[in-house]
């Protein structure tokens, strides 16, 4: 039930944000401070999501097979692998470590 | 619409196909987070802004509250409003076309539109619509493929799907780390999230890193 709520509310809110941009006068959202903060939000949130998905179980920091996958992804990115390769390398590495344990 | 320049068409198509394939990873992430194939596909059809979609299912997968999932997705979507402001005077759409324009206002359609500037306004407008429409098409096709594939596999950890999700976030983050300042911000946000994790309800540490963006961005550097 809450899955549907997340789906509908996320979709509605994300669409409303997109539509807002097409309706409001440019000067409303063009403040220098707002622009600076907004430019940083993807970096901070994506960083937090890497941690939350790779190291967290509920409210605890847990080191497990996922971290091995993440390390492999990092190596793939440094080696300039394309996105799909990065994801597959992480999955395979994590699965191998998972089954070894 | 007059036929767009070949170069614009080529740019739009290559971006659409490349980005569209990321949809496979989202499809798998949705299933790994416990969403159904239908729900996962609806995310791509309705939400249609990649990072927000990954965030919403990611927070749910991490055991976070619905409000945290929705909040993280909305915050990641705020940049689309800034894109819309830049695109509105360009596409000058009304009524249903404006609704459609808003829905396909994302990183890629805006980037391709702006990159067509040397080829003129018509090419910019064509770049916006072709890329927005192209990504919409391929993103949804590949989401379905990823969701069905992950659903057939089952047991996310056994196939490494639980590591594929943070790897996807790392892959989305990587190209944004253009200089040492942004790399330092990323490291600070990760450290902040680790410290906050045991202190706040599950998933809230993700939304809370907005504090890092506000503190760092408050003053010009």
Task: Find chain B residues with C-beta within 8 A of A78's C-beta.
Answer: none
The number of CA neighbours under 13 Å toward the Cβ of B216 is: 23
Can you give the pLDDT at residue A25? 76
Q: How far apart are CA B208 and CA B123, in angstroms?
A: 40
User: Which residues of A fall within a CB distance of 8 Å from B192?
Assistant: 48
pLDDT of B82 reads 84
Cβ separation A83–B22 shorter than 8 A: yes
Residue A15 has pLDDT above 90, yes or no: yes
pLDDT at A29 over 80: no
Closest CA to A7 of B148, B33, B15, B146: B33
pLDDT(A5) > 60: yes
ipTM: 0.87
- Chain B hits for A100, Cβ within 8 Å: none
Range with the poorest average pLDDT among A56-60, A80-84, B108-112: A56-60
| Average pLDDT rounded to a whole number, residues A77-87 | 90
C-alpha–C-alpha distance, residues B9 and B1, integer Å: 13
With CA atoms as reference, report the closest residue to B166 among A95, A86, A97.
A86
Nearest CA in chain B to A88: B164
CB contact under 8 A, B210 and A22: no
Give the mutation candidate from B40, B166, B189, B208 for the A interface (greatest A CB count, under 10 A): B166
Instruction: Share the mean pLDDT of chain A.
Output: 90
CB atoms within 10 A of CB B65: 17
> For residue A78, is pLDDT > 90?
yes
Question: Measured between beta carbons, which residues in chain A are less than 8 angstroms from residue B101?
Answer: 22
> In three state form, how does the secondary structure of B128-169 look?
HHHHHHHHHHHHHHHHHHHHHHHHHHCCHHHHCHHHHHHHHH
From CA B45, how far away is CA B216, in angstroms rounded? 34
Tally of CA atoms within 13 A in the half-sphere of B161 that contains its CB: 26
Q: Does B108 touch chain A (CB under 8 A)?
A: no
Instruction: Using alpha carbons, select from A3, A56, A50, A70 the residue that is nearest to residue B200.
Output: A56
As a whole number of Å, the CA-based R_g of chain A is: 19
Confidence of residue A13 (pLDDT cuts 50, 70, 90): very high
Q: What is the pTM of this model?
A: 0.81
CB contact under 8 A, A14 and B172: no
pLDDT at B38: 98
Beta carbons of A89 and A72 less than 8 angstroms apart = yes
What pLDDT was estimated at residue A9? 97
Closest-CA residue of A relative to B195 is: A61
Cα B74 → chain centroid:
11
User: B81, A20 in Cβ contact below 8 A?
Assistant: yes
**How far from B199 is each of A59, B62, B71, B112, CA to CA, in Å?**
8, 15, 19, 42
Tens-binned pLDDT, residue by residue, of chain B (221 aa)? 557 788 899 889 988 988 888 898 899 999 999 999 999 999 999 999 998 999 999 889 888 899 999 999 999 898 899 889 889 989 988 899 999 999 999 989 998 898 888 899 999 999 999 999 999 999 999 999 999 999 988 777 788 888 888 898 899 899 889 999 999 999 999 999 999 999 988 778 888 898 999 999 998 88
Query: What's residue B36's pLDDT?
Result: 96
Query: Nearest residue on chain B to A99, judged by CA atoms?
Result: B158
Q: Output the CA–CA distances (angstroms, integers) from residue A53 to A57, A65, B162, B174, in the order listed.
A: 8, 12, 8, 16
Q: What is the pLDDT at residue B6?
A: 87
Q: Does B124 touch chain A (CB under 8 A)?
A: no
Across A9-36, average pLDDT:
88
Count of C-beta atoms within a 10 Å radius of residue B106: 25
Looking at per-residue confidence, does A101 or B197 come out higher?
B197
Q: Is B59 touching A (CB cutoff 8 A)?
A: yes
Rounded distance, CA B16 to CA B176, Å? 19
DSSP calls for B47-110: I--HHHHHHHHHHHHTT--HHHHHHHHHHHHHHHHHHHHHHHHHH---HHHHHHHHHT-SHHHH
Is A23's pLDDT higher than 70?
yes
Residues in chain B within 8 Å Cβ distance of A99? 158
């Amino acid at each position: 039930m809450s899955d549907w709520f997340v789906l509908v509310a996320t979709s509605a809110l994300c669409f409303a944000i997109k539509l807002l941009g097409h309706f409001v006068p440019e000067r409303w959202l063009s403040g220098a401070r707002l622009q600076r903060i907004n430019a940083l939000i993807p970096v901070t949130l994506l960083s937090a999501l890497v941690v939350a998905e790779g190291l967290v179980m509920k409210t605890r920091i847990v080191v497990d097979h996922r971290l091995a996958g993440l390390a492999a992804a990092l190596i793939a990115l440094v080696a300039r692998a394309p996105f799909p390769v990065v994801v597959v390398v992480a999955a395979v590495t994590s699965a191998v470590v998972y089954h070894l344990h | 619409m007059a036929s767009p320049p070949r170069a614009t068409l080529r740019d739009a198509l290559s971006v659409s196909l490349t980005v569209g394939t990321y949809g496979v990873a989202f499809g798998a992430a949705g299933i790994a987070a416990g969403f159904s194939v239908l729900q996962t596909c609806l995310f791509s059809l309705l939400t249609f802004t990649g990072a927000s979609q990954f965030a919403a299912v990611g927070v749910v997968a991490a055991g976070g509250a619905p409000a945290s999932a929705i909040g993280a997705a909305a915050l990641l979507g705020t940049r689309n409003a800034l894109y819309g402001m830049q695109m509105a005077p360009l596409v000058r759409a009304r009524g249903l076309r404006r609704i459609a324009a808003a829905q396909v206002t994302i990183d890629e359609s805006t980037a391709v539109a702006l990159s067509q500037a040397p080829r003129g306004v018509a090419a910019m407008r064509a770049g916006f619509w072709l890329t927005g429409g192209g990504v919409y098409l391929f993103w949804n096709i590949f989401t379905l493929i990823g969701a069905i594939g992950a659903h057939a596999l089952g047991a996310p950890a056994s196939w490494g799907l639980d590591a594929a999700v943070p790897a996807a976030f790392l892959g989305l983050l990587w190209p944004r780390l253009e200089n040492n300042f942004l790399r330092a911000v990323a490291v600070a946000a990760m450290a902040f999230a680790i410290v906050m994790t045991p202190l706040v309800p599950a998933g809230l540490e993700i939304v809370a890193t907005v504090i890092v963006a506000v503190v760092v961005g408050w003053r010009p550097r």
